[in-house]
Structure 1
Amino acid sequence: MSIQLVVLDMAGTTVADDGLVLRAFDTALASAPVAETDAARQYVLDTMGQSKITVFRHLTGGDEQHAQRLNAAFEAAYDDLAHLCTPIDGAAELIRDLRAAGIRTCLTTGFSRPTADRILSALGWRDLADLTLTPAEAGRGRPYPDLVLTALLRLGADDVRAVATAGDTTSDIRTGLRAGASVVAGVLTGAHDAAALREAGATHVLSSIRELPSVWEQS
């Protein structure tokens, strides 16, 4: 089946974050500390790609007020850093090429809409993809399938098997698999290494998002 829709993660996959997410988490944790900070930081690394408020709810043991304070501090810290984001080499060109070939594209993120828009504006990407989605707009964030399935519904793909996904975290891989995508690629430009991506079930592991079209062009 030919690919009709490509769903791409942002930070670490199409956007070179260079540790900005972790810097913003550190700022948030400093402003509203949680117990066992080192363990919390490791959990943040392990769950990269997931909805940030969900991560903070876990770290605070379900204390919603504390989680919301942490999330607000994180969003404010990342907003201050968003201008430092740069595109992964070839990412914008890839999306333009996909659209020119008639393949619909969606950029997804675990950030809130205001933070996602700040990144997109900093990169000049507000109109780059056919669609951008945040967890609140899809129902649930990663590792649930909602982001991919919402993209399929909104962009009119005919079949989940006509979807390809790509991301740099194990949560990205689980999302693609749970959504039924035929291509669930992990890329090595972000948070998790090849072994972790393969263990999560990636159908392909790529050095860069630029390699993604070769997956179906050679099949």
Structure 2
Amino acid sequence: MIKLVVLDMAGTTIDEHGDVYKALEGSVTATGATVKPEDLQTWMGADKTEAIAALLELGGVTPNPELVARQFDLFREMLAKFYAQNPPVALPGVEAALRTLKSRGIKVGLTTGFSRDVAGPILEALGWGIGDGQLLDAVVTSDEVAAGRPAPYMIHRVMEATGVHDVRTVVAGGDTVVDLLAGHNAGVLPLGVLTGALGRGDLEAHPHSWVLDGVANLPDVI
């Protein structure tokens, strides 16, 4: 019996119009580094400071803590500007699906490669509350754990926050490869969804229990 569903934010439950891609790429290329599309996709679901450091190195610029911190600040500035111009919205059918899961007694948590100061305003704008009687039972951001995806820590932190002890009763995933790998590393049932940039073959090449068209389909399979 499934007791907890843990989902990614951007591209999985929230349509942010691809602005994370643009902000991440822009924050790296501003240093003179080059960014290959496949590298950008590889690091999309990861902690954004880790992603910036990796992409800088891949792009020919040696990262150091000061540079990474500066480019992360630029990433946040760019993302805030994009979101002000074109606010994120819930992906079709997601809210209804989450409420269906909650009505069955299944807890719902979100994890994200965003820091809390980025994720918080997005959730507030959507009206997605956290806690008793709210849509979400827990939200864990990448700056609250020792390492972001594909490490399992955010998923386990949501389990801790919701009082769920058995990984066999947890579904976790999102729209990127690192979402699937994080679920696999956490020992839970990994879920892939096709509402991001990757196709079915891209996701099914990695450990998964399901690859669905979207979160809207999740109540039908668990």
TM-score for the superposition, normalised by structure 1 = 0.90
* Distance of 1:126 and 1:78 partners within structure 2: 22
Give the drift of 1:104.
Answer: 1.0
* Distance of 1:8 and 1:58 partners within structure 2: 24
Structure 1 residues 1-219: aligned runs within 5 Å: 2-30=1-29, 32-35=30-33, 37-39=34-36, 41-60=37-56, 61-83=62-84, 84-127=87-130, 128-181=135-188, 183-216=189-222
Q: Which has the higher helix share?
A: 1
* Distance of 1:80 and 1:73 partners within structure 2: 11
Q: Is the 8 A contact 2:47 2:114 kept in 1?
A: yes
Q: Is the 8 A contact 2:28 2:52 kept in 1?
A: no
1:158-202 residue CA offsets vs partner (Å, 9 max, x unmatched) = 300000013000000000011011x21110000222111111212
Q: Identity over the aligned pairs, expressed in percent?
A: 35
Give the drift of 1:154.
Answer: 1.4
Bigger shift: residues 79-88 or 144-153: 79-88
SS of the aligned residue for 2:21 comes to helix
* Distance of 1:93 and 1:138 partners within structure 2: 29
Q: Is the 8 A contact 2:7 2:172 kept in 1?
A: yes
Give the drift of 1:45.
Answer: 1.9
Q: Is the 8 A contact 2:25 2:35 kept in 1?
A: no
RMSD: 1.5
Bigger shift: residues 57-66 or 207-216: 57-66
* Distance of 1:29 and 1:140 partners within structure 2: 20
Deviation beyond 3 Å, 4+ runs, structure 1:
none
* Distance of 1:214 and 1:91 partners within structure 2: 13
- The residue that corresponds to 2:59 in the other structure is none
1:54-84 residue CA offsets vs partner (Å, 9 max, x unmatched) = 0111233441111111111001111222342
Q: Is the 8 A contact 1:82 1:118 kept in 2?
A: no
Amino acid across the alignment from 1:64:
P
Bigger shift: residues 67-76 or 123-132: 123-132
SS of the aligned residue for 2:205 comes to helix
Could you tell me which runs of 5 or more consecutive residues in structure 1 were left unpaired when the two chains were aligned: none
* Distance of 2:148 and 2:197 partners within structure 1: 17
